[in-house]
């Protein structure tokens, strides 16, 4: 007979890792499934400075996550790498079907998080990996000494633009309004950085080049004026990083759970509308998506799963 876990946690970002830590500590028979590397979006963040108690100057998201993963290990949750393709969540025994096998559990905690939204310009797909990126930590080094553009005006765009100045010759933030959305403290640092420039009220409409990104069209949303931006002749290319927000990784649950703009609705104890099915972190409807709130969700979900399983 196939093993039935007390709880299977889907997703190894801060919510999933915290749920696994708490479930392991509660001596639940726990499996954490992650499709690729731990950490979710936070693993792509160069510097975390607002996780309470975190005093390691300049610590990266991936370093913080590595410490969380080590803590999970200590409390005995099993881990496996698989991509889940379908889920049956309504019965007493929940079933997750992945490429490598089936996983059964009495309760599940869904922590599948979110992914970066595309910039939304013509030809975008053609240049991903050839000039366009959504992860400064991953790709900044490819643009050493080159010119780089960042689309977006939120915390991610401004923080990652600052990180990119360590590599790029010049970084221009292209924002669709004339005021940034980013936290004031983050804005202040960016305005002081001599390598950062701004293109206000502007959106990228089209990107082009032979193989590598070397041209783009930017439209001023107030005047409608179109501007062609070309790579410097000696460079032959420029970088374009998109940070225009995130979209939930919830396709798997479409038709199984009621979704709100793709996000899973829960009560304050992380219960979805299905018994024994909990959701935690960025995947759920909430007002603040941060490492601290994801971790808090994960802890609550694990404790609720324990109550459910031992009822
Ligand atoms: P965000 O806060 O949703 O900001 C997205 C930015 O992209 C906004 O400036 C938005 O413009 C712009 N935008 C959206 N759609 C666009 C489009 N189609 N074309 C051009 N621009 C577009 O996303 P985020 O910065 O990735 O942050 C996500 C969450 O993580 C937020 O809650 C944020 O606070 C949090 N976060 C926190 C930190 C930190 O605390 N250190 C770091 C990173 C992220 P408008 O302003 O005009 O809407």
Please name the residues in contact with 19: beta carbons below 8 A apart, sequence gap of 6 or more. 7, 9, 32, 109, 111, 280, 298, 299, 301, 302, 305
Query: DSSP assignment, residue 251?
Result: G
- DSSP string computed for 187-229: HHHHHH-TTEEEETTEEEEEEE-SSS--EEEEEETTT--EEEE
pTM to 2 decimal places? 0.85
Q: Which residues pair with 78 in a beta bridge?
A: 31
Q: Does ligand 1 have an atom closer than 6 angstroms to the CB of 154?
A: yes
Residue of higher predicted confidence among 311 and 54 = 311
Q: Which of 135, 201, 208, 235 is catalytic?
A: 135
- Counting ligand 1 atoms within 8 A of each CB, the residue from 121, 156, 179, 282 with the most, and so the one to mutate, is 156
Q: What Rg, from alpha-carbon coordinates, does the chain have?
A: 21
- Counting ligand 1 atoms within 8 A of each CB, the residue from 58, 114, 150, 155 with the most, and so the one to mutate, is 155
What average pLDDT does this structure show over 16-21?
Answer: 98
**Is 230 part of the annotated catalytic residue set?**
no
37-46 confidence digits (pLDDT tens): 887 777 777 6
Residue 74 three-state SS: helix
Query: Cα dist. 182→55, 77, 152, 188, 308 in Å?
Result: 22, 37, 9, 10, 40
**Is 38 part of the annotated catalytic residue set?**
no
In this structure, the residue with its CA closest to atom 46 of ligand 1 is 181
Q: Which of 159, 152, 155 is nearest to 203 (CA)?
A: 152
Please name the residues in contact with 211: beta carbons below 8 A apart, sequence gap of 6 or more. 130
What average pLDDT does this structure show over 17-26?
Answer: 98
Q: How far is the CA of 287 from the centre of ligand 1 (A)?
A: 13
Q: How far is the CA of 245 from the centre of ligand 1 (A)?
A: 4
What is the reported pLDDT for 49? 73
What is the reported pLDDT for 40? 76
Instruction: Give the pairing of strands 170-174 and 196-199.
Output: parallel
Q: Does ligand 1 have an atom closer than 6 angstroms to the CB of 178?
A: no
Q: How far is the CA of 155 from the centre of ligand 1 (A)?
A: 6
Res. 264: pLDDT tops 80: yes
**Is 135 part of the annotated catalytic residue set?**
yes
Instruction: Report whether 309 contacts 28 (CB < 8 A).
Output: yes
**From 39-43, 150-154, 266-270, the region with the lowest mean pLDDT:** 39-43
Q: Which of 138, 230, 260, 275 is catalytic?
A: 138
Q: Which of 99, 109, 108, 97 is nearest to 2 (CA)?
A: 97
What is the reported pLDDT for 55? 67
51-102 confidence digits (pLDDT tens): 888 667 777 888 889 999 999 999 999 999 999 999 999 999 999 999 999 9
What average pLDDT does this structure show over 107-124?
Answer: 96
* pLDDT over 70 percentage in the chain: 99
CA angle 121, 46, 285 (to 5 degrees): 65
Instruction: Report whether 291 contacts 14 (CB < 8 A).
Output: yes
Res. 1: pLDDT tops 90: no
Query: Cα dist. 303→92, 97, 223, 281, 298 in Å?
Result: 18, 25, 54, 15, 9
Per-residue confidence band for 285, with pLDDT thresholds at 50, 70 and 90: very high
- Counting ligand 1 atoms within 8 A of each CB, the residue from 40, 46, 152 with the most, and so the one to mutate, is 152
């Amino acid at each position: 007979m196939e093993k039935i876990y007390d709880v299977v946690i889907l997703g190894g970002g801060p919510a999933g890792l915290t749920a696994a830590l708490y479930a392991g500590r509660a001596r639940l028979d726990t499996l954490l499934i992650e499709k690729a590397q731990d950490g979710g979006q936070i693993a792509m963040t160069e510097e975390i400075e607002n996780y309470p108690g975190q005093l390691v100057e300049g610590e990266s998201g991936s370093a913080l996550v590595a410490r969380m993963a080590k803590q999970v290990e200590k409390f005995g949750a099993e881990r496996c790498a698989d991509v889940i393709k379908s889920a049956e969540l309504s019965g007493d025994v929940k079933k997750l079907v992945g490429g490598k096998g089936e996983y059964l559990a009495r309760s599940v905690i869904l922590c599948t998080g979110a992914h970066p939204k595309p910039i939304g310009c013509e030809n975008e797909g053609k240049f991903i990996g050839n000039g366009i990126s959504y992860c400064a930590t991953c790709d900044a080094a490819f643009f050493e000494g080159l010119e780089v553009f960042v689309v977006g005006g939120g915390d991610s765009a401004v923080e990652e633009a600052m990180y990119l100045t360590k590599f790029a010759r010049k970084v221009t933030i292209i924002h669709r309004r004339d005021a940034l959305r980013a936290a004031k403290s983050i804005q202040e640092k960016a305005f002081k950085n001599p390598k950062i420039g701004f293109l206000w009220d502007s959106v990228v409409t089209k990107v082009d080049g032979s193989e590598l990104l070397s041209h783009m069209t930017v439209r001023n949303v107030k005047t409608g004026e179109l501007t062609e931006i070309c790579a410097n002749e000696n460079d032959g290319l420029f970088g374009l990083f998109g940070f225009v927000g995130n979209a939930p990784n919830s396709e798997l649950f479409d038709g199984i759970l009621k979704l709100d703009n793709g996000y899973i609705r829960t009560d304050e104890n992380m219960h979805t509308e299905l018994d024994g099915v909990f959701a935690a972190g960025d995947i759920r409807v909430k007002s603040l998506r941060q490492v601290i709130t994801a971790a808090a969700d994960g802890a609550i979900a694990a404790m609720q799963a324990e109550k459910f399983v031992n009822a």
